Amino acid sequence: MAAVELEGVVKTFGAVRALDGVDLTVEAGEVHGFLGPNGAGKSTAIRVLLGLLKADSGRATLLGGDPWGEAAELHRRIAYVPGDVALWPGLTGGEVIDVLARLRGGLDERRRAETIERFEFDPTKKCRTYSKGNRQKVALIAALASRAELYLLDEPTSGLDPLMEKEFQQAVLELKDEGATVLLSSHILAEAEALSDRISIIRAGQVVQSGSLAELRHLTRTTVIAETARSAAHLAEVDGVHHPRFVGARITFDVDSVHLDAAVQALAPLGVRSLSVHPPTLEELFLRQYGEEATA
Amino acid sequence: MSSPFTGTRHLVRLILRRDRWILPAWIVGLGGTITASALAVPSFYDTPEKVAGYAGAVGTSPVSHLMSGRQAGIDTLGGIVANEISQVAQLGICLMVMFLVVRHTRAEEESGRAELVRSTVVGRHAATLAALLYGVAAALVIGLVTTVSMLAVDLGLLGSVTYGAGLTLLGLCYVAITLVAVQVATSAREALGLAGAAIAVGYLVRGVGAMQDNALVWVSPFGWAQRMDAFGAEQWWPAVPVVLLTAALLGVAGWLTVHRDFAGGVLPARPGRPRASRFLGTPLGLTLRLQRGLLIGWAVGLTALGLLYGAVMPTIPDLVASNPDIAEVIGASPDVEQALTDAFLRYIFLFMAAASCGFVVTSVLRLRAEEESGRAELVLATGVRRTSWMAAAAVVAFAGVLLLTLLMGLGLAVGYAVGTGEWDRVVEHVGGQTSYLPGVLVVAALAVAVVGLWPRRSLLAWAVVAFVVVQVLLGETLRLPSWVDAVSPFSHLPEVPVEDFDPVPGLVELALAAGAVGWGLWAFRRRDVTTP
Ligand SMILES: Nc1ncnc2c1ncn2[C@@H]1O[C@H](COP(=O)(O)OP(=O)(O)O)[C@@H](O)[C@H]1O
Ligand SMILES: [Mg+2]
C-alpha cells in the first residue's frame, strides 16, 4: 500500500494556483525525493497531506487515511519537519524537543540522546538565541526521537552546515533501514539524488516527472566547462556526452554521471587550462527539459 | 558619508507604508473618540447653573480625581470638556505610542525583518530615531486633533492649545520611556509589559496625588501635563520637566543601543532546563507555560490596582466631610457617604473589569501569533486535535481572568483593610468584582470566535475591547444612544453594589459566551491553518 497518495489535488490561494492537479505516490518503505524550485508547491502539498490546508479538489491519502478528517490520529504515526522552523523563544531547545515528541504520542529516550549527540546540539539554550540551523535541528531531533512510520521532511537541511548535512543523510538512511517511509522535499537535485529511491519533480503546482533514479538518469547529468590548449572537438563523440557547445577555446557539455570518468580522460591530454564541473541546478534542468515554456 | 542616523528617512517611509492601516485606525479611533466627546459635552452644560453643578459634583468627586486628576478651570466649559476626555485621551495616547514604538523596534527585530534592513546601509541609531519620529508624529496628530475639536466648540484658543500641547508632551514622554523599555527587555512582549507598567504607575500616582491633593502629582508625567492648567492659569513651565526627562531617557536609550547585542537584551540569557517538565506534554500545559509570564504580569498589575483602590476607599467619607460643597449638592448624611462609596466601588469594579478585557484578548490572540509564526503548524502536525489546541487557549484565558478577578477583589479588600483595619469586606469586594466577570468572558469569547471565523481580521477583537472601554469610561459623557449601550455586555449586568445582585443577566451572558466559543471552535476546524 502506498504511504502517500495525491490524486489531482488542487489548492488555490486567491488568484494563486499553488497546486494545480498534483499526482504523487510514495510507496511504503521508500525514500522519496520531492523536488521543485522555490514556489513550486512542495510545502503546500505537504501541508495538504498534514490536513493543515484543505484541498479545493482532488484526493489525498495518508497512510490509508483521510488527512483532513483523521488528522490527529494519523499524526501519531508520522513526523514532520517544516521548512522554516519557528520555535517558542522562551523555551529551551531541549524543552521543545520533549514537548513536540510527547504531543506526538511518545518519546524514545535513547534515540533522543543519540540524535542530540549526533547533531552536536546544546539543548539548554533558549530558542530565541538559536540560529536557523539550530532551530531546524530542534525539529529534526524531535522528529527522529519519536518513532514514526512516515517522515515528512520539508527542505530539512536548508540551514545545516555540510558536516551536519552528512549526519542528516546518515540518519535518513538509518530510518530507511528500519523500514520507515520518508518524503524529502528539496530544491537541490544533488541532495535528493544522494538519498532517494524515487524522485518526483514538481513545477508550478504540477508533478512533471516521477520515477526511480535510473529512470531519471538523464536528469543527473553533470555540466562540464573546460578551456583547453588543443581542440576538444572529438569530445562530442565520447559516450554519454550531450549538447557540446564551443566558444573559442572553451567547451561546455553535459555528461551522464556514469560516463564522467571517460569524458575527463578524454579532456586530460588536451592541456586543460581551466575546468569547472557542477551538477545541473533544477532551473537549468527545467530550461533543458522544457525549453522556453519553463521560464514563462 | 554614513552617520549613526543614516537611512532614518528610508526607515520612516517603510514604517508609514507598513502602518498605512494601523496608524489611521489609531487616529480615527482615539482622535474620533476625543472629538466626539469634545463636541458632545458642551450641549449638556448650556447654562451657568449646569456648569456650576458639574464643578460642585464632579469637580469635588474623589472618583473623578483618582481617574482623571484635578482639572484646572473645572467651573468653565473648557475645564469640563478637558476633565471628561482626559482619561481616555491621556491613557489612549500613551498606549498608542507604546504599541507603535514597540512594533517598529523590538517586534521588528524579532521577526528578523530588521536584520534584513540593517544589513543594508542603515546607521546604528536609525531604527530608534525612526521610531521616535514616528511616535512623536502620531502623538502630535492626536494633540492637534484634540486642540482643533476643542476650538470647534469655542473653548478658547489658549486653553485648547495648552491642553493639546500637554497631551502631546505626555505622549512624547512615553515614546522615550518605551524606547528605553525596548532596549532593556529581552522580547517585544517584555518591552510592552515594562512600558505598560510605566503607564500604569504614572497614571495611578497622579490619581492618588490628585485625590489626596498632595505633591505626588508632581512625580508623574500625567501630573505635569495636567498641571499646565489648560483652561485655568495656563502655565507652560511644567513642560520643562517633561522635555528634560524625555531627553534624558533618549540618551539612555541611545547608550543602551550601543551596549547591547542585536536582538539581545541588556540582561544576559541564562542557560535553561535541558528537559521539559511533566506538565508540558499536553496542549493545556504548553499554553499555560507560554502564557505564564503574561498572566503573572497582569496578576501583579491588577492586584496592585485593587490594593491601591481599596486603600483610598476609606478616605472618601473624610473627603466628603472636609468638603461642604459635596454636602451642599447631594445633601449631608451617613447615607450620602454610603452612596458615594457605593458609586466609587461600582466604578472601580467596572474599570477593573474593563482593564482585564485587555488580558483576555491578548491571551486569546496569542493563537494568531502562534499561527502566523508557524508554531501552530508544528503543534498541529502532532497528535493534537485542532479543537484541543484552541480550547486550551480559551481555558487559559477564561481561567486566567477568573483568577485575575478574584485577585482584584481580594486586592480591594486587603487594601481597604490596610486603611481601616477592618477585614470584613472580603466577600463584598470579591463577590462584587466577580459579578462583572460575565461581561469580560463575553469579550474573551468573541475573541475566540474572531480567531475561528475571521483569522485575518483579529484586530476586530481589539475593536470590541476599545468599544467596551469607551462605553465604560465615556458612556455617560457621550450619552450614547441606548442601542449602543445595549450592545455592551457590561450595561446589562446589575450595577453592584449600587443595585442588588441578580444572577440572571450574568448567566445569560455566560451562555452567550459559551455559544461564541463553540462557534469559533467549529469554524476553526473547517478552515485552513494559517502558515507563514
Ligand atoms: N498561505 C498562502 N497564501 C498565499 N499564497 C501562498 C500561500 N502559501 C503558498 N502560497 C503560494 O503558493 C505557491 C507555492 O508555495 P510553496 O508550496 O510554499 O512552494 P515551495 O514550498 O515549493 O517553495 C507560491 O507561489 C506561494 O507564493
Ligand atoms: Mg517550501
- pLDDT tens per residue across span B501-526: 999 999 999 999 999 999 999 999 99
Q: Which residues are bridge partners to A60 per DSSP? A: A6
| Range from A100-104, A268-272, B52-56 carrying the lowest mean pLDDT | B52-56
pLDDT at B382: 95
Q: How far is A162 from chain B (nearest CA, A)?
A: 24
Does A43 contact ligand 1 (Cβ within 6 A)?
Answer: yes
Q: How far is A82 from chain B (nearest CA, A)?
A: 7
Q: What are phi and psi of B108, to 5 degrees?
A: -65, -40
User: Whose CA is closest to B497, among B419, B414, B415, B412?
Assistant: B412
Q: Which residues are bridge partners to A27 per DSSP? A: A2
Instruction: For residue A44, report the distance from its CA to the centre of ligand 1, in Å.
Output: 6
Residue whose C-alpha cell is 526607515 = B11
pLDDT at A296: 35
Contact B498, B364 (CB under 8 A): no
Contact B129, B105 (CB under 8 A): no
- pLDDT tens per residue across span B273-315: 999 998 898 999 999 999 999 999 999 999 999 998 998 888 7
pLDDT level of residue B395 (50, 70, 90 thresholds):
very high
Q: Which residues of A touch B187 (CB under 8 A)?
A: 89-90, 128
Q: Which residues of A touch B272 (CB under 8 A)?
A: 91-92, 94-95, 124-126
**Between B271 and B369, residue with greater pLDDT:** B369
Name residues whose C-beta falls within 8 Å of residue A41's C-beta, 6 or more positions apart in sequence: A11, A18, A19, A20, A22, A202, A204, A205
Q: Is the pLDDT of residue A287 over 70?
A: no
A154 Cα nearest atom in ligand 1: 21
Instruction: For residue A182, report the distance from its CA to the centre of ligand 2, in Å.
Output: 17
Name residues whose C-beta falls within 8 Å of residue B22's C-beta, 6 or more positions apart in sequence: B100, B103
Q: Which residues of A touch B271 (CB under 8 A)?
A: 92, 124-125
Bond into B314 cis (ω within 30):
no
Q: Return the residue in A53, A99, A132 with the most chain B beta carbons within 10 A, the one to mutate for interface testing.
A: A99
Cell of B333: 448624611
Q: Is the pLDDT of residue A294 over 50?
A: no
- Considering only CB atoms, B272 lies closest to which of A92, A98, A99, namely A92
Q: Which residues of A touch B377 (CB under 8 A)?
A: 47, 50, 52, 82
**The dihedral of CA B97, B98, B99, B101: what is its sign?**
positive
What is the SS3 assignment for B346-404?
Answer: HHHHHHHHHHHHHHHHHHHHHHHHHHHHCHHHHHHCCCCCHHHHHHHHHHHHHHHHHHH
Interface contact A84, partner B, CB < 8 A = yes
pLDDT > 70: what percent of chain B? 93
Mean pLDDT computed over B380-400: 97
Interface contact A10, partner B, CB < 8 A = no
Residue B40 C-alpha from the chain's centroid = 23
Question: Nearest C-alpha to atom 26 of ligand 1 is from which residue?
Answer: A39
From edge to edge, which strands make up the β-sheet containing A57-62?
A16-27, A2-13, A57-62
Distance in angstroms (rounded) separating the CA atoms of residues B98 and B135: 8
Question: Nearest C-alpha to atom 14 of ligand 1 is from which residue?
Answer: A41
Q: Output Rg (C-alpha) for chain B, integer angstroms.
A: 24
A10-31 burial: b if 16+ Cβ within 10 Å, else e: bbeeeeebbbbebebbbeeebb
- Number of CB atoms found within 10 A of residue B330's CB: 16
Instruction: For residue B454, report the distance from its CA to the centre of ligand 1, in Å.
Output: 21
Contact B242, B225 (CB under 8 A): yes
Distance in angstroms (rounded) separating the CA atoms of residues A170 and A176: 10
Q: Is the pLDDT of residue A217 over 90?
A: no
Ligand nearest to the CA of A36: 1
Distance in angstroms (rounded) separating the CA atoms of residues A31 and A156: 14
Which residue ranges form the domains of chain A, and what is each CATH number?
2-216 (3.40.50.300), 221-279 (3.30.70.260)
**Between B477 and A52, residue with greater pLDDT:** A52
CB atoms A82 and B384 under 8 Å: no
pLDDT level of residue B262 (50, 70, 90 thresholds):
low
Contacts 24+ apart (CB under 8 A), A60-66: A60/A5, A60/A6, A60/A7, A60/A9, A61/A2, A61/A4, A61/A5, A61/A6, A62/A3, A62/A4, A62/A150, A63/A3, A63/A4, A63/A149, A63/A150, A64/A1
| Range from A41-50, A184-193, B119-128, B367-376 carrying the lowest mean pLDDT | B119-128
Range list of H helices, B454-502: 459-478, 482-487
Distance in angstroms (rounded) separating the CA atoms of residues A85 and A88: 10
A45 Cα nearest atom in ligand 1: 17
Report the phi/psi class of residue B479: left, alpha or beta, with left for phi > 0 and alpha for psi in -120 to 50. Answer: left
Name residues whose C-beta falls within 8 Å of residue A66's C-beta, 6 or more positions apart in sequence: A60
pLDDT at A295: 40
Instruction: For residue A198, report the distance from its CA to the centre of ligand 2, in Å.
Output: 20
Q: Return the residue in A95, A124, A151 with the most chain B beta carbons within 10 A, the one to mutate for interface testing.
A: A95
Cell of A288: 533543458
Question: Nearest C-alpha to atom 17 of ligand 1 is from which residue?
Answer: A41
Q: What are phi and psi of B367, to 5 degrees?
A: -55, -45
**Between B330 and A136, residue with greater pLDDT:** A136
Strand residue runs (E) in chain A = 2-13, 16-27, 31-35, 57-62, 78-81, 150-154, 181-186, 198-203, 206-212, 222-228, 241-247, 250-255, 272-278
Q: What is the DSSP string of B296-349?
A: HHHHHHHHHHHHHHHHHGGGHHHHHHT-HHHHHHH--SHHHHHHHHHHHHHHHH
| Range from B9-13, B330-334, B465-469 carrying the lowest mean pLDDT | B330-334
A36 Cα nearest atom in ligand 1: 22
Q: Which residues of A touch B373 (CB under 8 A)?
A: 86
Probe ligand 1: pick from A6, A13, A35, max atoms within 8 Å of CB?
A13
Instruction: For residue B525, report the distance from its CA to the centre of ligand 2, in Å.
Output: 24
Cell of A54: 484543505
Instruction: For residue A243, report the distance from its CA to the centre of ligand 1, in Å.
Output: 34
pLDDT level of residue B332 (50, 70, 90 thresholds):
low
Does A18 contact ligand 1 (Cβ within 6 A)?
Answer: yes
**Between A214 and A269, residue with greater pLDDT:** A269
Kind and range of the H or E run holding B67: helix B62-68
Mean pLDDT computed over B428-447: 97
- Number of CB atoms found within 10 A of residue A220's CB: 19
| Interface contacts A/B by beta carbons within 8 Å | 123
pLDDT level of residue B134 (50, 70, 90 thresholds):
very high
Q: Which residues of B touch A47 (CB under 8 A)?
A: 377, 529, 531
| Range from A169-173, B57-61, B524-528 carrying the lowest mean pLDDT | B57-61
Interface contact A14, partner B, CB < 8 A = no
A202 Cα nearest atom in ligand 1: 22
Q: Is the pLDDT of residue B381 over 90?
A: yes
Instruction: For residue A140, report the distance from its CA to the centre of ligand 2, in Å.
Output: 16
Cell of A101: 515528541
From edge to edge, which strands make up the β-sheet containing A181-186?
A78-81, A150-154, A181-186, A31-35, A198-203, A206-212
- Considering only CB atoms, B375 lies closest to which of A52, A86, A128, namely A86
Q: What are phi and psi of A275, to 5 degrees?
A: -150, 130
Q: How far is B193 from chain A (nearest CA, A)?
A: 15
Instruction: For residue A11, report the distance from its CA to the centre of ligand 1, in Å.
Output: 10
Does A39 contact ligand 1 (Cβ within 6 A)?
Answer: yes
Q: Is the pLDDT of residue B118 over 80?
A: no
Contact B98, B124 (CB under 8 A): no
Kind and range of the H or E run holding B444: helix B437-453
Cell of A276: 569547472
From edge to edge, which strands make up the β-sheet containing A222-228?
A241-247, A250-255, A222-228, A272-278
Distance in angstroms (rounded) separating the CA atoms of residues B102 and B189: 9
B528 Cα nearest atom in ligand 1: 1
pLDDT at A236: 86
Q: Which one-letter DSSP state was computed for residue A217?
A: G
User: Whose CA is closest to B380, among B484, B253, B525, B515?
Assistant: B525
pLDDT level of residue B334 (50, 70, 90 thresholds):
low
Cell of A142: 524531535
Q: Is the pLDDT of residue B375 over 60?
A: yes
Q: Is the pLDDT of residue B390 over 70?
A: yes
Distance in angstroms (rounded) separating the CA atoms of residues B456 and B458: 6
Ligand nearest to the CA of A44: 1
Contact B228, B241 (CB under 8 A): no
Burial tier of B392 (Cβ tally within 10 Å: 0-12, 13-18, 19+): buried
A38 Cα nearest atom in ligand 1: 23
Does A36 contact ligand 1 (Cβ within 6 A)?
Answer: yes
What is the SS3 assignment for B388-436?
Answer: HHHHHHHHHHHHHHHHHHHHHHHHHHHHHHHHHCCCCCHHHHHHHHHCC
**The dihedral of CA B521, B525, B528, B532: what is its sign?**
positive
Contact A83, A109 (CB under 8 A): no
Q: Which ipTM did the prediction report?
A: 0.86
Ligand nearest to the CA of A11: 1
pLDDT at B64: 85
- Considering only CB atoms, B532 lies closest to which of A73, A86, A91, namely A86
